[in-house]
Amino acid sequence: MVDCKNNRRVVITGLGVVSSLGNDAETFWRKVVNGDCGIDRIRLIDPSPFTSQIASEVHNFDPTPAFPSPKEVRRSDRYCQFVVYAGWSALKDSGMDLNKENLEEIGCFFGSGIGGLSTTEEQCRVLVERGPGRLSPFMIPMLILNMGSGLFSIIHGLKGPNMATCSACATSTHAIGEAWQTIKLGNATAMFAGGAEAAITCLGVGGFSSMRALSTRNDDPKKASRPFDANRDGFVMGEGAGVLLLEELEHAKARNAKIYAELVGYGNTADAYHITIPSAGGEGAARCMKMALRSAGLNPEDVSYINAHATATKAGDIAEAQAIKSVFGSRASKLAVSSTKGAHAHMLGAAGAVELAICAMAVSNNVVPPTINYETKDPECDLDCVPNVARELPVKVAMSNSFGFGGHNAALVCKKFEG
C-alpha cells in the first residue's frame, strides 16, 4: 500500500508533447525557445467559408507506435490518438519500466475540452445522409472525452486512479493539479496527467468564428497569434496533446529517474461571473494564483517566471495582466511573463499541460521562452513579456496559468528540484 500522507513530494519525471512544432518534448521545446511558429493556413478542412482560416495543425503524425495495433488506431478519435501518443512519449522519456511497477498504484488523469468532435461531425453526416442503421458501433466510445484516459490505462494496464477532466481551456491544468493531489494524499505512487484537443473541424472553427473569438489575420498566419500585443485580434486554434508523468519523490529516486522539476502548488477557483468574459480586474484569476502559491508555501517574490494563459484576446490578456499585478504588486513589471501561444497557438484543453511542460523545461534549463509577434506595447498589459527572444535567467520557480470559458481558473507552480 502507498503511504497515506499529504506531505509527500511530487516530481516531474517524464514529458510528452504532440504539436505543430514537433511530436516530442525536446523538439517542441527547442522550437518554442527559438521563436518558431506552427501556425499556417488550415489544411485539415476547406477553410474558405470561415472568417478565420488559420490554425496550428499537427501534420505527419503517426500514432501507431503508441497503440497495440492499427485497428485500435482506427477505432480512436484524433484527440484520443494524440493523448495516447503523448502519454506513451512521456513514459519513454521517463525511463520507467512498467513491468517492474505495481500498476495498482499508477493511474492517469487525461482531459479534453471538447473531445471527439471530428467523430461527432462525421457521424452526424452519416445519420443525415444514410440513416441511423449506418452509424458506427464505435461512435460513442470514440467521441466521449474520457476515452483517452480510459484507453491509455487499458493499453498499459494502469489500475490506479483514473478519470477525465473537462473545464474548457483549464482542462489539462486541472487534470495535473488533481493528479498532484492524488499522489500527495497517498492514493497513487505515479500519475500520467494532461490533455488533448483535436477541434480543427468545420464545427470547431465555425463555432469559435461565430463568437468572433478567432484572429482573422489570414494573410499573415505566422504573425496572427499576438499575446499582449496592442494589435491582437483574437486567438488562433491549435491542436495536439501534452502529458506529464508525476511521481512521488522517493519512488523516483529509487529508480534513479531524471527530474525536470518539483511540482509544489495548485490553485483552482471560479469567477462566478460570465460564461466567456473574465471577471473584472481578473480577480478570480488572482485568487487562483494566490491559492497556488499558498499551497506551495511560497511568496510572490519567490516566482521567477510565469507562463501566462494570454491567448491574444482583448479582454482576456488585460484581465490576466491585472491579475498578475494584483498578486505580484510592484514586482509584476520586473517578472518574466511570456505567453508561448504565439508559437503553438491555443491548444484549448491541451494548453495547460503543454505549458506546464514548458515551465518544467524552463526550470531545468534556466531559459525563459519568448512571447513572439510582440511589436506594439499595450499600456494595459504593461508586463515584461520577454518579447520575441528567449532569455537566459535562473528559473527557481515557475507558474503556469490556465483560464477557461465558464469562469474556470487553474494555476500550477513548479520549482527547481533540491534533493
- Homologous superfamily (CATH) of 10-254 is Thiolase/Chalcone synthase (3.40.47.10)
Active site residue 344: no
**What would the 3-class secondary structure string for 105-158 be?**
HEEEEEECCCCCHHHHHHHHHHHHHHCHHHCCCCHHHHHCCCHHHHHHHHHHCC
Average pLDDT over residues 343-357: 98
* Residue 316 scores a pLDDT above 90: yes
3-state secondary structure of 262: strand
* Residue 1 scores a pLDDT above 50: no
Angle between helices 147-156 and 78-94 (to 10 degrees): 40
Round the average pLDDT of the chain to a whole number and report it. Answer: 97
User: How many CA atoms lie within 13 Å of 31's alpha carbon, on the beta-carbon side?
Assistant: 19
Report DSSP state, residue 19: B
What are the pLDDT digits (tens) for 204-243?
Answer: 999 999 999 999 999 999 999 999 999 999 999 999 999 9
Choice among 4-8, 319-323, 342-346 with the minimum mean pLDDT = 4-8
Predicted pLDDT at 3: 42
pLDDT grade, residue 6 (50/70/90)? Answer: low
Burial class (CB in 10 A: 0-12, 13-18, 19+), 103: middle
pLDDT grade, residue 412 (50/70/90)? Answer: very high
The domain limits of the chain are 10-254, 265-415
Considering the entire predicted model, what is its pTM? Answer: 0.97
Predicted pLDDT at 84: 98
Burial class (CB in 10 A: 0-12, 13-18, 19+), 187: middle
Active site residue 309: yes
Task: Give the Cβ contact number of residue 254 at 10 Å.
Answer: 9
Angle between helices 25-34 and 351-365 (to 10 degrees): 80
Average pLDDT over residues 142-154: 97
Active site residue 274: no
Marked catalytic residue, from 156, 174, 251, 309? 309
CATH topology of domain 265-415: Peroxisomal Thiolase; Chain A, domain 1 (3.40.47)
Average pLDDT over residues 5-10: 80
What are the pLDDT digits (tens) for 17-42?
Answer: 999 999 999 999 999 999 999 999 99
Instruction: Report in angstroms the alpha-carbon separations of 204 from 81, 84, 121, 369.
Output: 18, 22, 10, 29
Grid cell of 378 as nine digits: 499595450
Marked catalytic residue, from 346, 359, 385, 414? 346
Marked catalytic residue, from 169, 288, 359, 381? 169
10-254 and 265-415, same CATH topology: yes
User: What is the C-alpha to C-alpha distance for residues 375 and 387, in angstroms, rounded to an integer?
Assistant: 8
What are the pLDDT digits (tens) for 150-209?
Answer: 999 999 999 999 999 999 999 999 999 999 999 999 999 999 999 999 999 999 999 999
pLDDT grade, residue 43 (50/70/90)? Answer: very high
